[in-house]
Amino acid sequence: MKLTISLAQRGVLWAVMLFTAAPALAFADVYVIVYPGLNLTADDIKNIYTGEKELAESTKIRPQDNSSAREEFLKKVLQLDAAKYESLWTKKSFRDGINPPTVRASDAEVIAYVKSNPGAIGYVTTAPPGDVTVLKKF
Amino acid sequence: MTKRTVALERVPQWIVPTLWLLGLIVISVQARADIEGLVIHGFASVYYTDTTQQNAPTGNTGFKLDNLDLYIAPSLTDRIRALMEDVVEFDDWTKPGSDNGQPAVDIERLQIGYLFSDDLTVWMGRFHTPYGYWNTAYHHGAQLQPTVMRPQFLGFEDHGGILPAHTNGIWATGRRDIGPGRFTYDAYLGNGSRILDGVIDMQNAGNADSHTAFGARLGYEFLGGALDSLWVGAHGFSEQIDNFISGVRTAQTDVKVIGAFGHWTPGDWELMSEYYRFDNKAHGTGGPSHESSAFYVEADYIFFGLITPLARFEQDTLSQDDGYFQYLLGGKSYKRSLVGVRYDLTPQTAIKIDANHTDMKRDGGQSYNEAHVQVAIRF
């Protein structure tokens, strides 16, 4: 039996797919993770990712960006878009000589770095394994 | 002429700089693996000026190369960092009638710092003197600043500025969250400046006059609430500045400056202002104080994150009996009204247009109009 779908039916199908997929994209969870034992609080996250906080006690903090989750992180946590975030770090680097977070390509790369580097902090969109500490879920 | 010289002359002229540049890139790429921040960033800008000013110290009507600014900020260890900035300038502010437009390379900043804590970083070297907002926020970053030009009285030392824009010395800076915001501070100590043939010199090669400059900037930045992002503060510095004409000392002045500043970005607005009050006195004479002042106020509004109309008023009233302003190329009183618009073509590219009317008649100067069109990028 040949299944035929009219143009109108295709439109409805696409609309349903979009409406069901969009919330999942818009509300993806963001987990901010840190090296186990790193002494930070959720209130520190914004200061770290804007270059205002560089030390946790005597440990140098190593913030990591995650290009696959950055848009979501910036929107939910820093309330910034990518252009403003880049502009903020250009100014910070030029004025204070502080460099922006290193950019990692995926959740896996961020998790691998955070779990093996003291002072590391990053963010991912998938529930992380137990060998890193979740500082806060947004 | 030796065979070696002849052989070298056959090498095309572009070979040596090209090999040098390639070498620099290779070294940078290799070093980046070990030293965070060893990436070259910078700013570049070009512009067109139309002016009715006769014998303008900034040159004539026409297209101009502004500057090419390159900087690196390597983090050598968790605590040790450096900031190095070189600028190629093409349009030095000169005495009327002199040649200008010649390229010159300036080491703008060469500072090495140690991060003691989030409350304290100490730098040593040549740095942007921490006063007001503009000098440390924008400096040679033309793409960052809203207008084509800085307020004239805040110009660079060799562009008619009346304040030492750089200091060679030691600088402590930091911030601490207190109450609903953040307390910020800067304190510095360095070689005293001198005036050489009308231009402030911050003495990069030692303190020949043995005069010490010291100053401070204290501020408070509101975080959250109705005043979110408002940064207000006070600043001041003191030093003895001597004037030299063709190597002969002609004046010694105790320069004392205090003032205030504010910068605020409520919503799509950007508002800023700086004020400086001079209380200068001829050194060692017990003579009268000469009071002078300078200020600007600026308002910008950003439409759709792209288009920013803006307006600025700036004025300085400088005592011509003061041995400091008497000899400075930019030491004449003026007032300027400026309007303009900035268009951010991309986050890294800005096109700016502004026009101003400047009145320098108070000290016998001209009244004139100027317009600028600038393209400025960062990379």
DSSP state, B139?
Answer: T
- The residues of chain B scoring below 70 in pLDDT are 1-37, 91-101
* pLDDT tens column, B173-221: 999 999 999 999 999 999 999 999 889 998 988 888 889 999 999 999 9
CA–CA distance, B169 with A136 (Å, rounded to integer): 43
Q: Is A87 on the interface with B (CB under 8 A)?
A: yes
The string over B324-363, giving b where at least 16 C-beta atoms fall within 10 Å of a residue's C-beta and e elsewhere, is bbbbbbbbbbbbbebebebebeebbebebbbebebebeee
- Phi/psi at A47 (nearest 5 deg)? -65, -35
- Distance CA(A13)–CA(A16), nearest Å, equals 5
Of the candidates B73, B78, B121, the beta carbon closest to that of A60 is on B78
Task: Report CA Rg, chain A.
Answer: 19
Nearest to A86 among B73, B118, B347 (CB): B347
Q: Look at residue B233 and tell me if it is in a domain.
A: yes
How many A×B Cβ pairs under 8 Å?
A: 44
Distance CA B354, CA B341 (A): 6
CB proximity list for B213: less than 8 A, separation 6 or greater: B164, B167, B169, B188, B189, B190, B191, B192, B193, B237, B238, B239
List chain A domain ranges: 28-137
d(CA A54, CA A119): 10
CATH of region A28-137: 3.40.190.10
Half-sphere exposure of B245 toward its Cβ, with a 13 Å CA cutoff?
A: 8
Q: Are strands B248-264 and B269-282 parallel, antiparallel or unpaired?
A: antiparallel
User: B122: exposed, middle or buried (C-beta count within 10 Å: 0-12, 13-18, 19+)?
Assistant: middle
B118 to A60: CB separation less than 8 angstroms, yes or no: no
Taken in order B137, B143, B146, B151, is the CA torsion positive or negative? Answer: positive
Considering only alpha carbons, which residue of chain A is nearest residue B39? Answer: A99
Nearest CB neighbour to B378, from listed A53, A83, A90? A90
Smallest CA-to-CA distance from B250 within B329, B318, B196 is with B196
For residue A110, is pLDDT > 50?
A: yes
CA distance B144 to A1: 65
In 3D, which of B280, B289, B132 has the Cα closest to residue B215? B132
- Tell me the C-alpha distance between B99 and B94, whole Å: 7
pLDDT given at position B159 = 86
Structure tokens at B194: 């001198």
Q: In 3-state terms, what secondary structure has residue B238?
A: strand
Q: For A95-115, give one letter per residue: b (16+ CB within 10 A) or e.
A: bbbbbbbeebeebebbbebbb
Q: What is the largest CA-CA distance in chain A?
A: 71
B23 inside domain: no
pLDDT of residue B55: 79
Model pLDDT for residues A52-108, shown as the tens digit of each residue: 999 999 999 999 999 999 999 999 999 999 999 999 999 999 999 999 999 999 999
Answer whether residue A113 shows pLDDT above 80.
yes
Name the domain count of chain B.
1
CA B51 to centroid of chain Cα atoms: 23
Chain A: closest CA distance from residue B32 (Å)? 12
Strand boundaries in chain A, DSSP class E: 31-34, 55-56, 59-60, 62-66, 102-104, 120-124, 133-137
- Domain holding B195: CATH number? 2.40.160.10
CA–CA dist A16, B206 (Å, integer): 74
Host domain of residue B265: 43-70+124-378
Alpha-helical runs (H) found in A74-106:
82-96
By C-alpha distance, which of A64, A73, A82 is closest to A137?
A73
| Gap from B372 CA to chain A (nearest CA, Å) | 24
Phi, psi of B159 (to 5 degrees): -125, 30
Q: Which residue's structure tokens are 């409805």?
A: A12
B99 occurs within a structural domain: no
Please tell me the predicted confidence (pLDDT) of residue B8.
Answer: 45
Instruction: Tell me the nearest-neighbour CA distance from A120 into chain B, angstroms.
Output: 13
Give the Cβ contact number of residue B102 at 10 Å: 10
Residue B338 forms part of a structural domain: yes
What is the nearest CA distance from A52 to chain B, expressed in angstroms? 8
Q: Are B161 and B153 contacting, i.e. CB atoms less than 8 angstroms apart?
A: yes
Chain A environment of B37 (Cβ under 8 Å) = 93, 97, 99
The span from the CA of B237 to the CA of B132, in Å, is 11
For residue B336, tell me if it sits in a domain.
yes
- Structure ipTM: 0.84
Diameter of chain B by CA atoms?
A: 76
Residue A5 near residue A101, CB atoms below 8 Å? no
Q: How far apart are CA B52 and CA B359, in angstroms?
A: 12
- Measure the CA–CA gap between B209 and B240, rounded to whole angstroms: 9
Beta-carbon neighbour count of residue A15 at 10 Å? 10
B200 assigned to some structural domain: yes
CA distances from A81 to A43, A47, A88, B209, B280 (A): 20, 16, 11, 51, 48
Nearest C-alpha neighbor of B212 from the set B196, B235, B193: B193
The residue among B168, B170, B150 whose CA lies nearest residue B354 is: B150
- Residue predicted with more confidence, A136 or A7: A136
How far apart are the C-alpha atoms of B197 and B122, rounded to whole Å?
Answer: 33
